[in-house]
Each structure stands twice: as structure tokens, then as C-alpha cells.
Structure 1
Amino acid sequence: MKNQKFILTYSFLLLILLSCNKSGVFEEPDIAEPGPRTYEDIQKDFEGFDFTPGHNDVELENLKNEIWKFRVVMPDVDFTNNNRPLIISLHGCASCGISPDSHKFTECLAETGFRALDAIILSPNSNGKLWPTLENNEQVITLVDLASTYLPVDTDKIVIHGYSDGGNGSWFFSETQSSLFSASIPMASQYNTTNSGVGRLIPIPVYVIHGQEDALFPVGNVENWVNASIDSGSDITMVIAPDLTHNEPCEYASYLEDAADWLVNDVWN
């Protein structure tokens, strides 16, 4: 018993001595600071998400230690040898201020319109910034890469889609990041495809849906830009929704169903 007490006392004194400097002042042991966040860290975090059928609302820390919020809607299917299309769906009012739930507006439009595809739908949050900004450019490109790597995605069937500001973003990414996407479906959007009146070529097929009564983005402007781009060789289909205005996105779901048929029959066949 005395030996045990001696050993414990000796060990305690030794610990104190090792924790002191030569002046006898106690110093806490050095703790290594964590290194900068890497892309491997982001990959590991994404791979660790447990995506289940239905809505998966998750957060991911990026390289700048900022948080990306996004929703992944997984279809309830057997994924065995059955990779699915991936729809990147961009919400509207992207610069209306930071809203923690903007990316969750998927049910009445994207989920309804693309239901027949059994697609994976990924809806990011804009963090209060327009989609063409550098920050959101990085976010969209990164999420496409992560989803393509760690989810059962058919990489030949990745689509960029959006409504209002999201539709403008859909145009932007179809022009600037065309290697990532097989098609683009902008809705209720306005994107000038011309330089000095000459239309620019959009490298991937585009299916434009626009309301006849859209007062925010007049349909005539959109038609002019679409036609100018078509004259330069773009493959663009434009569908005008009679009587529909700008601020009723759920009413456009049937038009999005037609766009899904277009993907199957005209783009992916």
C-alpha cells in the first residue's frame, strides 16, 4: 500500500516538473493549431452525409470557413446500376437578403416538374448574392463535382435550372460552365445574350419558359434575346405561358413537366 502511494506521489511530482520551465512557472502544453481547410476536408464531409429518400437539408463548410446550405432531394429508387439525372435548381430572389430557407422552395416546382425523371435535385442557397458572383460560381461548381463523385449521378444528364434570379443564373451557367451541364431550363428570367446587338452562342440546349404577363421581365425582351442567340447557332426552345405573371412559380409546374419530356426525347436520346 505504501509503495502504491509512493508511486502515485512520484508520478504527480514528475508531471508538475515536466510542465514547468526552468523558472518553475507552470506552462500549459502546446496544442497544435489546425491547418487551413482543404478540398479533401470538404470531400470527406460531403461523403459523410447520410442522404436518404426525400428531403436532405445539410450544411457544408467551404474553403473560406463559410457555410453553404443546400437541399438534396433523393428519389426513392433502387440505385443499383441505376445512376440518376442531377438537377441543379437555383432559387429566385437571390439578392433579396440572406434567407436560411430559400433553398428549400423545391416542392411545388422542381420536385413536381421533374417527378417523372426520378432525378436527384440539388438546391443551393445563394447566401443573399446573385448567382453569377464568384462566390456562387464556386459553390455551384463544387456541389456539382461533389454530387457527381459521391452520389449515384449520371454525369451525362446534369441540368442547370432556375426561376427568376435562378433562371438568370441558369442562363449564366449554361454559357460559362457548359462543360458541366447537358441542358439548361431558365424560367421567368431575363438574360441579355447579345453583344452590340449580335447574339452570343450558348453551347448547350436551352428550354426557356416565360409568362406572357410577366411585368418584371417583359416577354418581348426575352424573345428578342432568344432569337438573336438562335441566329448565332444556339439550340433554344422558348415556351410562353399564357396569362401567367412573374410571381406565381408554382403555376409553372406543368410547363416544367413538358421540359422534362424535352430532356428525355430531344436532349438525352
Structure 2
Amino acid sequence: MKKNRRFYLTLAVIATLFLFGCSSGDSSNENETPPERTFEDVEKDFSALEVKEGISDFSIPVPGGLAWNFRVIAPDISDGTKKPLFVNLHGAAGGDPNAHKSTSCYVEPGLEGIEAFVISPNGGTNQWQEPINQSQVVGLVTLALKYWDIDPTKVVVLGYSNGGNGSWFYAETRPELFSAGIPMASSYSTIGPDGQPRKIDIPLYVIHGENDELFPLAETQAWVDQSVEAGSTIEFVVAPGLTHNQACDYVPYLKDAIEWLNTSVW
């Protein structure tokens, strides 16, 4: 009953985010626009996706005349066992329509040998924490948990740069969906409006380049240390010599993060 209640609560949140992120428009002229899509329409399309082992790219129309564009990397599911799910959030891409397809740099080699699903959504020009992207990320995870063979205790959000910031955000705000977060090259304040550090309820493995010129190491490390003092469980790893634009060089550190998941979280 608890799982069902969580699932329907999540659906309600997604529906609210859809309404928040889309304008209603003028419905007085019935011939002007087609009927608005609903979350039920989105769910029906998702449930019909033909997900095969390997890489597949999909697009699902959603309310507001928008679309979820995302890549799925699927494992062999013939053994019938439930697999982990990794949600990969790309860095700021200026609205690149193919940003979600950029998985060959660190995601694919970093997760090589792991029998897991990967969902890589396209965030468009919006930040990952904005309502329009919350509806996409939460919606995709919720539907994947419902329709694919995924272990709900092994759902991880990861990302680089802007995607790393998004990883912090979802780790903090959606602990009922995610079991861990892996932010890379990120900048996310853990200090609340009251000036006090915030505790994050799920464990994180935070990786940061020593010479990151966009997000200074000292600032990110301070936020990590303060959140740890508040009770968070965070492994902080410094990548020696790496600057902000060396995402592909994070592969060995991502592999270490997977080992951390297997030995310390799962």
C-alpha cells in the first residue's frame, strides 16, 4: 500500500508540474487548437516504447505542445532480474536538440560492464530544477519504475556541470525516487535561507576537478563539508589537475563511484 500511495502521489505531482509549466491559452475557439494531451496519453506512449538492448532515442509529446526527448541505454533483460537505473543529466547545452545523445564521453565508458538502464533526457534551455524539467525527470523515472524491470532501491541521478547541479537538486528533493546521487563538476549551495547547512537524506558521491575554473573547488568543498556537518553522507573526491571542460577524463572517477554504490550503498 505504501508503494502504491507513493506512486499515485508522484503522478499527482507530475500533473501539477505539467499545469505549472504550461500556459492554458484561449480555449474559446475550439477550432484553433487540438485537445490538450494528458499525463494518461504520455503514460500510454511510454508503455508502448520498444526498448531493446543497447541505445535507443525516443520523443514523447507532452502537454503544452512540448516533448520529452530522451535516450535510453538498456541492458539485457532476458534473465528477468530487476536492474539499476541511472538518470543522466547533461550539462548546459544551449538548447542543443541532441544534448541527450552525448553519452559516449563519460556515461557509456563509466558505466561499462554495469547491467543497468540509463535514461538521458534533454533539458532544452531550462535549468534542471525548473518545473518543466522536474515534470520530465520525475515523470520518466516514475514510468520507468512502473513499466521496466528496475530495482526501485537502485535508482541513481548523475550529471556533469549543470547536470551535476541537477543531480544535487533531485538527490535533495526527491529521496523517495533516488537512492543516491553522483554530481560531477558541480556548484550547489547547501546553505538554507536561515544561513544553516541543509542535510540531504540520500548518499552522494561528489567528484570535482582540482582546477575547475568555472566552479571553484574551494566553494564546492565548503558546501559539501557544511552539509556533512548537518548529517549528510557525502564522499568527496578531488580529480587532480582536471579543469571544468574535461568531462571525458572523469571516467575513472565515475567507475570508482559505481564501486562505492556496490560496496557502500547497495
Distance, in Å, in 1 between the alignment partners of 2:108 and 2:64 is 31
Aligned residue for 1:131?
128
AA in 2 matched with 1:125: N
Alignment of 1:1-269 (within 5 A): 35-75=35-75, 77-93=76-92, 96-195=93-192, 196-268=194-266
Per the TM alignment, residue 108 of structure 1 is displaced from its structure 2 partner at its CA by 2.4
List gaps (5 residues or longer) in structure 1. 1-30
Contact 1:87 / 1:160 at 8 angstroms: preserved in 2?
yes
- Post-superposition CA distance 1:131-160 (Å, at most 9, x none): 010100111000001111111111110001
List gaps (5 residues or longer) in structure 2. 1-30
Distance, in Å, in 2 between the alignment partners of 1:168 and 1:192 is 9
SS of alignment partner, residue 227 of structure 2: helix
Per the TM alignment, residue 197 of structure 1 is displaced from its structure 2 partner at its CA by 4.2
Question: Cα RMSD (Å) of the superposition?
Answer: 1.5
Per the TM alignment, residue 34 of structure 1 is displaced from its structure 2 partner at its CA by 6.0
Contact 1:68 / 1:139 at 8 angstroms: preserved in 2?
yes
Contact 2:160 / 2:186 at 8 angstroms: preserved in 1?
yes
SS of alignment partner, residue 45 of structure 1: helix
Distance, in Å, in 1 between the alignment partners of 2:34 and 2:219 is 52
Contact 1:79 / 1:152 at 8 angstroms: preserved in 2?
no
Distance, in Å, in 2 between the alignment partners of 1:78 and 1:160 is 21
Per the TM alignment, residue 248 of structure 1 is displaced from its structure 2 partner at its CA by 1.1
AA in 2 matched with 1:249: A
Per the TM alignment, residue 234 of structure 1 is displaced from its structure 2 partner at its CA by 0.2
SS of alignment partner, residue 160 of structure 1: strand
Contact 2:158 / 2:164 at 8 angstroms: preserved in 1?
yes
Distance, in Å, in 1 between the alignment partners of 2:162 and 2:100 is 13
SS of alignment partner, residue 136 of structure 1: helix
TM-score by length of 2: 0.85
Distance, in Å, in 1 between the alignment partners of 2:78 and 2:61 is 28
- Post-superposition CA distance 1:149-184 (Å, at most 9, x none): 111111110001000000000001111111110000
**Count of residue pairs the alignment pairs up:** 234
Contact 1:188 / 1:214 at 8 angstroms: preserved in 2?
yes
Distance, in Å, in 2 between the alignment partners of 1:132 and 1:217 is 18
Taking every aligned residue pair, what percent have the same amino acid on both sides? 44
SS of alignment partner, residue 182 of structure 2: strand
SS of alignment partner, residue 176 of structure 2: helix
SS of alignment partner, residue 181 of structure 1: coil
Distance, in Å, in 2 between the alignment partners of 1:55 and 1:119 is 12
Distance, in Å, in 1 between the alignment partners of 2:250 and 2:257 is 11
